[in-house]
Amino acid sequence: MLVNKDELKRALEIVKPGLANKEIAEQFTSFAFMQGCIVTYNDEISVLHPIKGIELTGAVKAEELYKFVSKLKSDEIDITEEDNTIILKSGRATAGFTIEADVKLPIEEELSKKGEWFPLPKKFIEFLKFASMSCSDNLSLPILTCVHVNETGVIESSDNYRICHCKLNKPLPISTFLLPKTSVLIVTKLNVVEIAEGVGWVHFKTGEGTIISCRTFNDTFIDTTPYLKPVKGGLNIVLPDNLNEILDRAIIFAKRDTETQEFVDIELNKRRLTVRSKSETSWFEERSTLQETVEPVQLSIMPYLLKDIFTQTKECTVTEKLLYFKGVDWVYISALRKIEK
């Protein structure tokens, strides 16, 4: 069978997030071919993508297959199957890969029970990504590593120091669920447009028919209501117009493996705002001027999160212990560290 090399490579890239880093269970590090689709599964997330022209059934170790396809220069790949091997020919290159005819991933047992597909509400993905930036990385408190998606239309998160609370303009068509941040980062990178409820799973679908299935966390989220009441007292301040440009420079030094590991320090002191960031070998500091006089406080925040907030509002409220940002349909709250005089 002849397949387009670029289409195959793209399909493999789409399903790669469903691979495990190591062979936790059989075929967790394999691409599974079944019913005209490529599937991956690692017990936390599964990705299925339809691809035309491949009539294979079985599982192939992912790493070598992906690397080989990625290095090919010809536009087409001729795929044949002999005994327990699939043979890929492209130009003068030929490679054979062992294929296990029996797909042992628990796709049918875990993922077959899906409810009706519904269109995702407007802003769902925007809020899901926004909320993921306030999740914790502390696995000893797993509930705080999740985004809480409530059937009432609330999407929120907290790490005990920050709260992000967003409100959609209508209820969700499925029941409340907790989605781990690691899964959110995968879902929000794909153009998902539909959602369906599973049993212990939630499923998302793209316009191309890709299905991303995410295991949900079974627990009850913390009550953030007491912190969402209107702010009494505090000082309303306007962030400087050049903060966005300062953050662009600070990000260079805050760079880490993922955006969720990147932080900058913000210091408010009298009529001065200072942004600081550092790497293992260098550091950055830049000051700007505030219109108001503020008691000395500090906070740490993800620079991309602050840049997103800055596109919505430049105004915030500073109390003795907290910093509040409020948009039309969202609230972001961060604890402050007081600077000793």
- DSSP for 204-224 reads EEETT--EEEEEPP-S-----
CB 216 within 8 A of CB 44: no
Burial of 77 (0-12, 13-18, 19+ CB in 10 A): buried
Tokens of 328: 């039309």
Among the listed residues 124, 134, 144, 153, the one whose alpha carbon sits nearest the alpha carbon of residue 221: 144
Q: What is the pLDDT of residue 277?
A: 97
Tokens of 326: 């409020």
**What residues pair up with 298 in beta bridges, in sequence order?**
267, 337
Strands (E), 63-221: 76-82, 85-90, 93-100, 118-119, 146-149, 154-158, 162-167, 177-180, 192-197, 201-206, 211-215
pLDDT per residue as tens digits for the range 78-117: 999 998 999 999 999 999 999 999 999 999 999 999 999 9
> At CA 329, angle to CA 326 and CA 334, rounded to 5?
35
> At CA 60, angle to CA 54 and CA 64, rounded to 5?
105
Sheet holding 283-301, edge to edge: 264-278, 283-301, 337-338
What's the pTM value of the predicted model, to 2 decimals?
0.91
**What is the full DSSP assignment across 270-327?**
EEEEEEEEE-SS-EEEEEEEEEEEEEEEEEEE-HHHHHHHHHH-SEEEE-SSEEEEE-
Q: What is the pLDDT of residue 340?
A: 62
Whole-angstrom Cα Rg for the chain: 24
Torsion angles phi and psi, residue 12, rounded to 5: -65, -40
On whether the 235-338 domain is CATH 3.10.150.10, my answer is: yes
All CATH 3.10.150.10 domain ranges in the chain, comma separated: 2-111, 118-227, 235-338
Element (H, E) at 45: strand 45-50
CA separation, residue 40 to residues 19, 81, 121, 175, 273 (Å): 6, 21, 27, 26, 47
Contacts of 319 by beta carbon, 8 Å cutoff, 6+ apart:
231, 233, 234, 235
Contacts of 177 by beta carbon, 8 Å cutoff, 6+ apart:
149, 202, 216
Tokens of 285: 């500091």
Q: What is the pLDDT of residue 40?
A: 97
Domain spanning 118-227: CATH superfamily: DNA Polymerase III, subunit A, domain 2 (3.10.150.10)
Q: What is the pLDDT of residue 52?
A: 86
Q: Give me the tens of pLDDT residue by residue for the chain, a chain 341 residues long.
A: 899 999 999 999 999 999 999 888 899 999 999 999 999 999 999 999 999 888 899 999 999 999 999 999 999 999 999 989 999 999 999 999 999 999 999 999 999 999 999 999 999 999 999 999 999 988 899 999 999 999 999 999 999 999 999 999 999 999 999 999 999 999 999 999 999 999 999 999 999 999 999 999 999 999 999 988 878 888 999 999 999 999 999 999 999 887 778 899 999 999 999 999 999 999 999 999 999 999 899 999 999 999 999 999 999 999 888 999 999 999 999 998 776 65
On whether the 2-111 domain is CATH 1.10.10.10, my answer is: no
Q: What is the pLDDT of residue 110?
A: 93
CB 149 within 8 A of CB 165: no
pLDDT per residue as tens digits for the range 108-122: 999 999 999 999 999
